[in-house]
Structure 1
Amino acid sequence: MILAKGKRTWQFKALTDLWTGSVTLEERHGQIKEKTGPGRLITTGLLGSIRWWFEVLVRGLGGYACDPTGTKCEGQNHCVVCELFGCTGWARKFRFEVLDKAGKLKTDQIKTGDPFQFHFTPLRPIQKEEWMLLDLTLRLITGYGAIGGKTVFKPTDESSRASKLHHKDYGLVQMTTSQQFDGTGRGDLEIYLSKWRKPNDDDFAWASLRHFWCVNGKYLARQDGNTSTFNHVIGRPEPKQQSGQNDSWIAGRRPDRRNNIEAESKKVFSFKNPARTFGFVKPNFAEIKTLLRKAWPDLQDTDFHEGPAILDDLLPKEDRP
């Protein structure tokens, strides 16, 4: 993290392409249709992803975060996440920009190998606890998660299908700036989090570092038409021609518009190059570890990182017990 006159800049290198989504119009069969592509860099796509991981961190520290699509905060009565990122009647406290290596605004897609920067300029005073939470969030993303869109795509070992868009890796990045400790410790963060609105988050309490896990260096994929370690872990039939009738919580939920059922994301995400698999559990880690060991018989306990231990690792060394 680089500090300059109250501003904060984090530097990164893209390990895969990043997808933030852009829409272009094209004519097909005499009609104008929208086509989604990765071409332009849409900063709101990245900022939304950062906010989501910020919520995961806050809940992992014992705080509360609203769901912007459900239990929304408004005005002065808001949660700690909305305090920084904004909500109805309360503006975001910073300006967010993505810069290239030279420090100029980046407008095209971030591609594998690209150096880039996240630049935050305060528009109102930002507390030191907020900066620390933001720093921890970005380190959580780079060390254990992913950022942007299309991170739900699944890898494949089938050479004939590896080039298909829906098997590509998106969203993995490496941070190239070192952590700077300003004296804000875990206790300070917990006290700060306790001061804010506590919305009812039962429906999305699973999106917490307390329930998060990650295995770096391994991936889940489809091996052939009848075998898929990914489907095995999430509880869906492995053969391509079979479909699950009732998806499990971990597998998510397919949309059913006729019955007014919305889609729900699966809770396991996997990437092939570089290899990383992460997800969320409900309620504990034992079951997912058993499933993963069937896919990876050589999985060691030290390979499986649980959220609470990840948090301890992310916190500055000066704050560890």
Structure 2
Amino acid sequence: MPRTITVNLQTVTPIWTGDVDRTSDQVRETGLMGSVRWWTEVLIRGLGGYACDPTGDDRCAFDEEAFRRTGQAEDGLRDVCPACRLFGCTGWSSKLRLVVTDGQGGYEVNLNRAGVPFTMNFFELKPTLPQERWLLIKAVWLIVRYGSIGGKTPLKPPGQPDYGLVVPVSPLRLPRLTRDQVSTWLADLMAASPPLQRRQERAHPDWPDLRFFFFNDKTWLDLGKINEVMRSDSSGFLSGRRGVSKKVFSFQKGNRFWGYTRDEEMLDGVLGTLQRLGIRDTRTGEEVISEL
């Protein structure tokens, strides 16, 4: 029987999901699912696995020819990354459909203010593996514990409102797996697919990897401090450019900031700048991985 994975949350700030009129009066599940997928990709890379850029030229595609030869979906998925196996790619639809309901199970949901309870219902359209469910729930945990969800999160306080923060209203339910077991599964997928191995070798260095993230849930950064952090990177990666988001996200109401760098050297530069600014208790992605 298909299962439903439920996550019960409450908004700390408004959540921006956008709609056809570029407003956010009614929740759009695609915006939330996109955020969950992004954090799942970040987590997979942080655990040493490969997750493609689903919008890039080197994105995954289901192997229809291999599937026709054997009739086994796994043969068509052999060279598909773990994120695309779960969320879909060319020729392979998502294993999940997200439906958001309010605190009473209703479907008219508006998340444009703080204090709104809601449920993310992930309905199985195809059977999911325990490892995939672990990655999904841990991605939600990252969002809740350290990150953010939805759009408009790059807006900088205090001049702009905060968006994208949530808290759980019930414990997140995980499969009975350890981080090491999931890492082994990711490694096994790679070992079985030389094409995936080659794609990982040529993966773009700008793709976000949890190992090179930084998080702080004790304070927020004003625009001046954000600019100081960005100046620690002479390459311009942190500050972004037109059409490319900045890589530092700060939330005054949530007393939180997070961001990501390209590599360990850039991360060390950010951490040094934060220490110079008197900001303590910043956690690295590696430290957060140890909590999983």
Q: What TM-score, normalized by structure 2, do the two folds share?
A: 0.85
Q: Give 2:229's aligned residue.
A: 233
Whether the aligned pair in 2 keeps the contact of 1:85 and 1:93 (CA below 8 Å) is: yes
How many residues end up aligned between the 2 structures?
Answer: 265
1:67 to 39, 53, 62: 53
Q: Give 2:84's aligned residue.
A: 82
Higher gyration radius (CA): 1
Structure 1 residues 106 and 54, CA gap change in structure 2 (3 angstroms):
farther
Unaligned runs of 5+ in 2: 63-75, 191-195
Structure 1 residues 98 and 110, CA gap change in structure 2 (3 angstroms):
farther
The CA deviation at 1:40 is 1.9
1:309 to 251, 276, 287: 287
The CA deviation at 1:23 is 3.0
The CA deviation at 1:135 is 0.8
1:1-321 maps to which residues of 2 (within 5 A)? 6-24=3-21, 36-70=22-56, 71-75=58-62, 76=76, 77-156=79-158, 162=159, 167-194=160-187, 195-196=189-190, 197-198=196-197, 199-200=199-200, 202-204=203-205, 206-222=207-223, 228-235=224-231, 248-254=236-242, 263-284=243-264, 285-295=267-277, 297=278, 299-300=279-280, 303-313=281-291, 315=292
- 4+ aligned runs moved over 2 Å, structure 1: 106-111, 179-183, 196-202, 281-286
Q: What CA distance in whole angstroms lies between the structure 2 residues aligned with 1:59 and 1:283?
A: 13
User: What's the CA shift string for 1:241-294, capped at 9, x where partnerless?
Assistant: xxxxx971111112xxxxxxxx22221111110111111123223211221234
The CA deviation at 1:41 is 1.1
Higher relative contact order, structure no. (Cα contacts within 8 Å, ≥ 6 residues apart): 2
The CA deviation at 1:212 is 0.8
Q: What CA distance in whole angstroms lies between the structure 1 residues aligned with 2:150 and 2:287?
A: 25
The CA deviation at 1:188 is 1.7
Whether the aligned pair in 2 keeps the contact of 1:247 and 1:253 (CA below 8 Å) is: no
Q: What CA distance in whole angstroms lies between the structure 1 residues aligned with 2:127 and 2:143?
A: 25
Q: What CA distance in whole angstroms lies between the structure 1 residues aligned with 2:88 and 2:289?
A: 25
Which of the two has greater strand per residue? 1
The CA deviation at 1:182 is 3.5
Q: Match for 2:182: what amino acid?
A: L
Whether the aligned pair in 2 keeps the contact of 1:21 and 1:37 (CA below 8 Å) is: yes
* RMSD of equivalent CA atoms: 2.0
Unaligned runs of 5+ in 1: 25-35, 157-161, 223-227, 237-245, 255-262, 316-321
Question: Bigger shift: 171-180 or 143-152?
Answer: 171-180
Q: Secondary structure at the match of 2:20?
A: strand
Q: What TM-score, normalized by structure 1, do the two folds share?
A: 0.77
Q: What CA distance in whole angstroms lies between the structure 2 residues aligned with 1:110 and 1:129?
A: 33
